[in-house]
Amino acid sequence: MVTVAQDSAAALRSWTPPRQADRALWQEYVVFADDPAHAHRETSTAQHLTASALVFDATLEHVLLCFHGKGRFWVQLGGHIEQSDASLADAALREAREESGLDALTPLLGTPVDLDRHALSSGFGSCQVHWDIGYAFRAEPDAMPVASDESESVAWWPVRDLPEGSVEGLARRVGRAVEILRAG
């Protein structure tokens, strides 16, 4: 049985970011993910991999964001990988379902669309750095998201007009994902 740590390393090694500008960071991710202790916070509290879900409508004109209660900012859906997750993509899908209340989410690619390593404030406890890997999903047109315990609000936003109070770099991340998805 393949563990999520093994899957994470294999998934990152078998994928090459389509944008040359992302390849140096990707190489750092590959090295980081090769240590199984970095797969989830149960084995590495200070810094670890996380999985995000960039959830779009069918037109790629709107993205689903949550207002993170602890961080006090708008951000994509996602979070910590759990040992019970079968893969990075499964972790992203689980987090998206938990945080949005939407069950019908369709993966748009079998590979990541985003890498984002970021430091965290002291408000996040022992977590200091997240090595985030983002996957893209599509929600059904009539999807009605519902906020979870971790977020105060979940809402659709135009990809070109993200809300004030968005986490730093969110517009770049969403834009990069849309660019990759449109290129096919």
pLDDT value at residue 160: 95
Predicted structure pTM score:
0.88
pLDDT value at residue 118: 65
Dihedral sign from CA coordinates of 47, 48, 49, 50:
negative
pLDDT band at 126 (very low <50, low <70, confident <90, very high): low
Tens-digit pLDDT profile for residues 141-162: 788 898 877 678 999 999 999 9
% of the chain with per-residue pLDDT over 90: 41
In this structure, what CATH number is given to the domain that contains residue 177? 3.90.79.10
Burial class from Cβ neighbours inside 10 Å (0-12, 13-18, 19+) for residue 29 reads buried
Query: What number is the average pLDDT over the span 127-136?
Result: 82
Structure tokens at 161: 């007009």
Task: Specify the higher pLDDT residue, 104 or 2.
Answer: 104
Tens-digit pLDDT profile for residues 10-55: 888 888 888 888 888 888 888 888 877 766 556 566 777 889 999 9
Is the pLDDT reported for residue 78 higher than 70?
yes
Burial class from Cβ neighbours inside 10 Å (0-12, 13-18, 19+) for residue 21 reads exposed
Q: Residue 117's CB: how many other CB atoms inside 10 A?
A: 16
Interatomic CA distance for residues 136 and 56, integer angstroms: 7
Is the pLDDT reported for residue 101 higher than 80?
yes
Crossing angle of helices 4-13 and 88-100, rounded to 10°: 110
* 47-56 and 129-139 strand pairing: parallel
Domain membership of residue 121 as a residue range: 4-183
Q: How many domains, in total, are found in the chain?
A: 1
Is the pLDDT reported for residue 56 higher than 90?
yes
Comparing CA positions, the residue from 14, 176, 169, 165 lying closest to residue 89 is: 14
